[in-house]
Amino acid sequence: MKDFKGYIQVYTGNGKGKTTAALGLALRALGAGLKVAFIQFLKKGEYSEIRALSTFRPQVEILQFHEGGFVRGQPDEAVRRAVTEGWRKAREIIASGEFQVVVLDEINMALSMGLVTLTEVLETLRKRPSSVEVVLTGRNAPEPLLEMADLVTEMREVKHYYRKGVPARVGIEK
């Protein structure tokens, strides 16, 4: 789109909805004819949202960088390699300017686990083409990232049925 100005958005907090919000933005962008790169860190699998986004190919690029299940404690070497590769690819995609919207899903968790350096993320955001909107999701977004962002939304858990033992449901949480 001509004259498209990209901003930096952060969706963080301990509540549900960070990835869902990024997916909604991606859907809106796709509907407007923008190209979207949806890059997931620390997630891998055939989630419902991935199947839905896939219907928009080639207007959307979907990449997942993770090995194994949920990371508890220190990530193993396979996870570190996957996230390192993902961050390398994300930097490439952002710098290329080929996509007007780039979602870095769970990048904040990768940052808080020390798998990606804050300095590199901030530098990449500063150097991005002005026509690239970047959306960063995940808990524990660091303060310098919040300061740099143009939009910050914090999801706060007030009540969640997960606490009553309800597992993630297909079509709702996965």
For 157-174, write each residue's pLDDT tens digit: 889 888 888 888 888 877
Residue 72 confidence class, pLDDT cut points 50, 70, 90? low
From the list 122, 119, 149, 140, the residue with the least C-alpha distance to 42 is 140
Instruction: Tell which CATH classification among 3.40.50.300, 3.50.50.60, 3.60.15.10, 3.20.20.80 matches the domain 20-164.
Output: 3.40.50.300
Does the pLDDT of residue 71 top 60, yes or no? no
CA torsion sign for 154, 148, 21, 111 is negative
pTM: 0.92
Does the pLDDT of residue 68 top 70, yes or no? no
* Alpha carbon distance 32, 9 (integer Å): 18
* Alpha carbon distance 130, 36 (integer Å): 15
Amino acid at 125: L
Q: Which residue ranges make up each domain of the chain?
A: 20-164
Q: How many Å is the maximal CA-CA distance in the chain? A: 49
DSSP SS3 for 64: strand
